[in-house]
Structures are given as C-alpha cells and as structure tokens.
C-alpha cells in the first residue's frame, strides 16, 4: 500500500525508498557505528537530562518555576532545530559524486532504506557531537541559564528519536497521533522536499513546507 503511494517523479533516485538494508562500510567496526538500538537515546541522554536539572536546582539554586520555563523553552527550541537540521543539513542537494556519498551517509541511507530498524535513531557518535556543539552554543549565549535550558533541548531530542522510531516501526495509532505518521510518511513516500518536521508539523506550517 505504501509503495503504491510513491510519486516517483517527485522523488530523486538517491532518496527513493527500497527494501532491505545497506552496507555503508566494509570495516565491521565502522559499520557497527552506523547501527543503533532504539533505546540508546534514552540510555545515553536521560541521565544527562536528570543531571542538568539536578545541577540547576541544587547547585545553582534556580527556582522551580524558572527551571520549568527554561526546560520547556529548550524542548520547544529543539523542534525548530530539528526542522532546520532536517531541511537544510540532512537534505542538502548534492551536485558531485562526493556530495552524493556524503548525503547518503548523512541521511540518504535512511530514505533509501526507511524500514531498516537499526538506522531509525541517530548514532551516538553523531548525536554526541551535536550535543556538545549545542551545549557550548547555549552556554555561551545563555550563561548559567543554559543548565536548565539544555536538558529541555535534550529531552526534545529524545522525544524526536523515539517518535521517529515509532513511526517507522509501528502501525499508526487510532487517535490524533496518527497525523504524525501521515506527515512523516508523506516526506518519505510522496514529497521528500516537504514535511520536514517529525516530532511536530508546526514549523512546516509556519514555513510553508507541509
């Protein structure tokens, strides 16, 4: 049913969905780094969220209201970062053979093999690099308030990865969450140049990419 909905004229070959799984590296160790268990984001980042909230409360003596506001502001900020990264970094349009290889490694492999269960959440080697970069960005721009903002941002990322895995691995629920399934599967099987939001379609509506 899903394949019947594909509009091939809108999907370039390097993003066209296929069945199976790809071998990205001949080296077994490097290949293993590209595959991730779906619980990895929770195991790696939930302790980070708890630590930073605890640090904000017990070391910096932030009031509960301040932590809650900064936390949810951080979580909301993740949804924008998710949209921008997906649209402009993951979906840059390659022009050279090297560009196509880079695009495949960054995101094209997921589009070509969207049902590969081991490549539905971000590998730690990538997510940890991004986490460090974002941490220093927030620490520099927000000062000590980054300690309560950052865990919200990370929690937003966890929600994103869990949502992404659920959409590709489970059948859509019979409630309003079904719209998330429809929105993201449209991105894969109809219009990879649209519907970039995964955890929410909000920014697609704002920027006209629904």
Please report which confidence band the pLDDT of residue 3 belongs to, taking 50, 70 and 90 as the band edges.
very low
CA–CA–CA angle 20, 21, 22 (5° rounding)? 135
Tell me the pTM: 0.92
Helix (H) or strand (E) holding 48: helix 40-54
In a domain, 3, yes or no: no
In a domain, 42, yes or no: yes
Which residue stretches of 55-201 are H helix? Answer: 64-84, 97-103, 109-112, 124-142, 146-169, 178-189
Task: Quick: pLDDT tens for 88-131.
Answer: 999 999 999 999 999 999 999 999 999 999 999 999 999 999 99
Overall average pLDDT of the 70-79 stretch = 98
In a domain, 125, yes or no: yes
Q: For the chain, what is the domain count? A: 1
- Which residues span the domain enclosing 49? 37-162
Count Cα neighbours of 22 within 13 Å in the Cβ-side half-sphere: 18
In a domain, 104, yes or no: yes
């Amino acid at each position: 049913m899903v394949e019947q909905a594909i509009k091939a004229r809108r999907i370039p070959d390097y993003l066209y969905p296929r069945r199976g799984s790809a071998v990205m590296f001949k080296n077994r160790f490097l290949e293993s780094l590209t595959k991730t268990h779906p619980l990895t984001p929770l195991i790696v980042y939930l302790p980070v969220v708890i630590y930073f909230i605890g640090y904000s409360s017990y070391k910096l003596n932030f009031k509960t209201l301040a932590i809650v506001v900064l936390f949810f502001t951080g979580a909301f900020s993740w949804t924008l970062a998710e949209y921008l990264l997906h649209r402009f970094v993951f979906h840059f349009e390659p022009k050279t053979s090297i560009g196509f290889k880079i695009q495949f490694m960054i995101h094209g492999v997921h589009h070509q093999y969207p049902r590969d269960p081991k490549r539905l959440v971000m590998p730690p080697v990538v997510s940890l690099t991004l986490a460090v970069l974002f941490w220093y960005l927030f620490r520099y721009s927000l000062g000590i308030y980054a300690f309560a903002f950052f865990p919200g941002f990370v929690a937003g990322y966890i929600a994103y990865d869990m949502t992404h895995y659920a959409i590709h691995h489970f059948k859509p629920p019979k409630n309003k969450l079904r719209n998330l399934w429809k929105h993201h599967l449209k991105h894969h099987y109809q219009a990879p140049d649209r519907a970039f939001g995964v955890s929410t379609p909000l920014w697609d509506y704002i920027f006209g990419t629904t």
